[in-house]
Every structure is written in C-alpha cells, then in structure tokens.
C-alpha cells in the first residue's frame, strides 16, 4: 500500500493545515486502512479549553447582534469553500475514517447541503403572532440566539454531523465549539481551516466563533460541565449518553443526544425482492456496518425467505472488500482492533444461541496485519435473542422469520433503541400501518428504502435509548434558539388575563 501518512499530509497541506501541526504531540492518529500512524497531535490543555470557551462566549455576544441573513452569508461562503475542496476533504475522510471514496465524497456533499439549507433558513427564523383574550393586546413569540453550542462527534461521520449542528447554530446566532472523535481529528482540523477561510472572506466574524477542542473524553468534559455552554450535541454510544445527560441536566443545560441504533427492516410477501436486495446490501454493509443507521436486523416473511436469503448470501460472498481508496471497493476496514473484537464476540454469542453464521471472518490479515478488514456477516437466528437486541457496531446482519404482520412489528419494536426503520412492501395497508402510531416506534420510518442514508431536509434522530435528539432539517433550528413570549398593551386600560380583578 502507498503511504497513507504522506497522502494525508499532502491533502491537509492543500486544505490549509501545516505539516508541523501533524507532529505537535503524543496522541497518535492511525488510519484504519493500514494501521499506519498518520499524525501525532497534542490534546487541548484544561487552561486552553477554558480560554476557548471564553473566546466562544465573547464571540456569541457579538454574533447574536448580527442580522440573521448576514449570518447566513458566512455559512454560504463556507459552503463555497466546501464545494471547492470537496474532493480532497472527502478523500481525507476516506484516509482517516476508512470510508469508501463515494461515501467520503457524499459526506462532504451532506455538509454542503446543510449549509445551503441553513443559509436559506437565515431569512425564515419565524415566530408567531398569537391572539390575545384581552382587548388592545398583542402576543408574540420570538426566537433569540441561545449561546455557546458544543458539538461532540463520533468517528463514523467525522465531518457531516458537526455541519448539521454548526450550520444551524451559526445562522441562529450562536458560537460553536467542536470536540471531534480522537480517532478522526485531522478531518476536524481541515474543516476548521476551511471555515477560517470563509470567515476571512466574510470580513467581520468575531474571533472564537468556531473553534476546536482536541483529545479524549476528559477534553469533552469541559463542554459538559461549563455553565457558559448552553447546549451540547453529543453523538456516540448509549453508554456515553448515560454519562453525559445527567451532568447536563444537573446544570439545566440543553442536550441533543444521538446515541445507539439497532435498526431493522421488514420484508413482506409483496416486496419487490430486487429492490429490497439492493437496499439491504447497502444498509447492512455500507461504511462496514459502522453507521448509527446501519441495518442490523432483517425480519423476513416465511413465504419469501427462501427466495431472498440465498441471493443475499451470494451478494455477501461477492462484495469487494479492501482498500477504500480503490474505486471498486464497497466495504472498507473497521476503525480498529476493538471493533473487530466486539464483532468476533457477538458472532460467537449468536452461534451459541443457535445462529447460523455466514461470513464474519477477518479478511487478508496477512497482508494487512495492523488493519481490520472483515467479511460482513449474515446470521440466521431462530429468535431475537439478547445479542440481537444489543447493538454491535460492526457489519453483522441478524435474519429472522415471521408469519404474521403483527409479529413482525412486535419483533421490530422489541429492542431498547429506536433510531431508524424500514419496510419493504407493495401492500398499502402494511406500509401505512408501519408508518402509523401502532407501527414503527423509531424516529425515522422508511418504506421501500433501507434505514440508512437520510436527507438533510428531515429531522434526524430517534427515540428510547437513541436519546430523543433531533438534528438537521425540519424545525430542528429551534433547538439552537431560546423562545420568548412577549405581550404588548397598546391601549390605555389594564385588563388582566382570566378575568382577574385587582383594583387599587
């Protein structure tokens, strides 16, 4: 393999990150492509973290005074920087996170999309005029900037999830502090460099408007515990959410939590099998099974099971696994050794519960001793056992049969997580029931597409142990603002609400 280190350094230099910044400390950054150390960075010190939050607080106080459409212009300029650097930034995502080329490029496109959306939204931060019960009175609802917004992101979407939050937070009048995953800090350095280019072009963006904190969990805790950080959007495991949420609640801070996903698809008797096959393959194997929306459970009607599963196994056997920089590759590496070990243990547990495992073995270990390429695993299960109900962040698809639609929905919902869901059917009644209140209990519900690959126009997030947070489109912008209800009395008397009399 070519040196990933040299390629990453060249990309970063072109994106405005000096080579000297890549050897500034002791925290190694390794590429999952070959396990090579591609940088050694310094963690942000406690004193520097405090100063960063100070700067962000002052930036917020200035930025909130800027008219929203002008704030939107900065985000538009940032989108133009992303357009110009889409190819190198997307390739950097491939090098650092192991995504195949089209997924790396797609992640940058997602950043562009949310910036364009947010720039338009900057002219539509609409409140309400509310009818008053009192004569000569007017009630209004106005939205104001919230404060400093902290973003804690995960390795599997090293740039897009930050953009979902930052683009909205900025047009809403907030400053943003980003703590990226310690596994993918180079992408964050590149994005920060592009943002600073846009800010220079914009001309009067306050210092500290968008900043970085680099390091592990203890660095992120600065955002969790500092009273000046009004909202923290955190993406990661359910265990992480359980640690973060009480600490934010203790100081009455807002939280947007995007946590575990154990997403399922139901294949009904009327399903278009060819369409379902393609959707299942991408949903289960895309990003090497390391998406929060990855398809992890497949619930197949007994009448179509024998038609679908042999064909699906053939796809699993034939899919191209390898260096994600090669155009023919569809499945790149796991992020590291710990992910492979969790996958191995889950497959062993599934087999001990009666599961029949196809695939799951390590791939080309002799050629890539420090990287973890695996054959995606398809596991035929007799029932939804505990290992199936637990999310394993790896390319494992558990397959189960069902006989009646009600049973399929019950199996589908009988997990702690509630992020994304899908059904494959040409039966209108089945589709509508799945979308109804008695159907899927997830935040994302799809018909005839898989659970993965959400567009930015809708709100992204889930229920139950997924955390309840929402990011990206719809009315999510309101999460980054504070609501103010105002009353104006333009008359000469003082009638009280609810008919109360208080004459003095």
Cα separation, 77 vs 99, whole angstroms: 27
Residue with token string 């959707």: 279
In which residue are the tokens 């889409």 written? 86
Nearest to 460 by CA among 321, 328, 291: 291
What would the two tokens of residue 394 be?
A: 């790896």
Q: Among this protein's residues, is 292 annotated catalytic? A: yes
- Gap between the Cα atoms of 178 and 165, Å rounded: 10
The one-character DSSP state at 464 is E
Quick one: which of 68, 104, 74, 95 has its CA closest to 2?
Answer: 95
**Distance, CA of 450 to CA of 446 (rounded, Å):** 7
Strands (E), 131-288: 137-145, 148-152, 175-179, 210-212, 229-235, 254-258, 263-267
Which one of 107, 292, 391, 471 is the catalytic residue? 292
Residue 292 has which token pair?
A: 């929060």
Which value, in Å, is the radius of gyration of the alpha carbons in the chain?
Answer: 24
Q: What is the biggest distance separating any 2 CA atoms in the chain, rounded to whole angstroms?
A: 90
- What tokens were used for 385? 């056992």
Round to whole Å and give the CA distance between 47 and 143: 33
- Selecting among 258, 380, 430, 471, the annotated active-site residue is 258
Tell me whether residue 268 is one of the annotated catalytic residues.
Answer: no
The answer to whether 72 and 224 have CB atoms below 8 angstroms apart is no
Helix residue ranges, H only, 286-336: 305-318
Give me the active site residues, please.
258, 292
């Amino acid at each position: 393999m070519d040196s990933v280190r040299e390629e990453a350094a060249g990309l970063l230099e072109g994106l405005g990150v000096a080579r000297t910044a890549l050897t500034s400390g002791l925290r190694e950054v390794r590429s999952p492509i070959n396990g090579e150390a591609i940088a050694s960075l310094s963690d942000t010190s406690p004193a520097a973290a405090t100063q960063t939050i100070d700067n962000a607080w002052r930036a917020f106080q200035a930025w909130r005074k800027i008219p929203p459409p002008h704030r939107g212009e900065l985000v538009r300029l940032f989108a133009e920087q992303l357009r110009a650097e889409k190819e190198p930034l997307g390739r950097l995502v491939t090098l650092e996170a192991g995504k195949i080329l089209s997924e790396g490029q797609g992640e940058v496109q997602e950043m562009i999309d949310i910036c364009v959306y947010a720039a338009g939204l900057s002219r539509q931060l609409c409140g309400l005029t509310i009818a008053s019960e009192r004569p000569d009175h007017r009630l209004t609802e106005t939205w104001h900037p919230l404060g400093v917004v902290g973003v804690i992101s995960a390795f599997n979407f090293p740039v897009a999830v930050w953009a979902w939050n930052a683009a909205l937070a900025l047009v809403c009048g907030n400053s943003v502090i980003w703590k990226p995953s310690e596994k993918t800090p180079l992408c964050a350095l590149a994005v920060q460099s592009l943002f600073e280019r846009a800010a220079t072009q914009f001309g009067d963006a306050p210092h500290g408007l968008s900043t970085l904190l680099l390091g592990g969990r203890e660095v992120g805790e600065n955002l969790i515990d500092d009273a000046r950080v009004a909202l923290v959007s955190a993406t990661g495991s359910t265990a992480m959410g359980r640690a973060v949420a009480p600490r934010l609640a203790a100081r009455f801070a807002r939280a947007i939590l995007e946590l575990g996903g154990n997403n399922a698809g139901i294949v009904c008797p009327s399903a278009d099998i060819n369409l379902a096959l393609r959707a299942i393959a991408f949903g289960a194997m895309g990003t090497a099974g390391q998406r929060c929306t990855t398809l992890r459970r497949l619930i197949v009607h007994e009448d179509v099971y024998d038609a679908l599963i042999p064909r699906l196994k053939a796809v699993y056997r034939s899919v191209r696994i390898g260096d994600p920089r090669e155009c023919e590759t569809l499945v790149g590496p796991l992020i590291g050794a710990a992910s492979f070990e969790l996958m191995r243990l889950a497959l062993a547990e599934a087999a001990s519960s009666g599961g029949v495992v196809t695939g799951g073995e390590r791939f080309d270990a002799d050629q890539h001793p420090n990287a973890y390429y695996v054959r995606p695993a398809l596991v035929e299960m007799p029932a939804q056992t505990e290992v199936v109900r637990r999310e394993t962040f790896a390319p494992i698809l558990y397959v189960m049969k069902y006989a009646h639609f009600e049973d399929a929905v019950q199996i589908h919902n009988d997990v702690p997580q509630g992020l994304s869901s899908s059904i494959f059917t040409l039966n209108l009644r089945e589709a509508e029931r799945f979308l109804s209140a008695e159907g899927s209990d997830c935040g994302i519900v799809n018909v005839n597409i898989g659970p993965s690959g959400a567009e930015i126009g809708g709100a992204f997030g889930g229920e139950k142990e997924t955390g309840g947070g929402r990011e990206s489109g719809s009315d999510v912008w309101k999460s980054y603002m504070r609501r103010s209800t105002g009353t104006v009395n333009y008359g000469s008397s003082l009638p009280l609400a609810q008919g109360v009399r208080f004459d003095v």
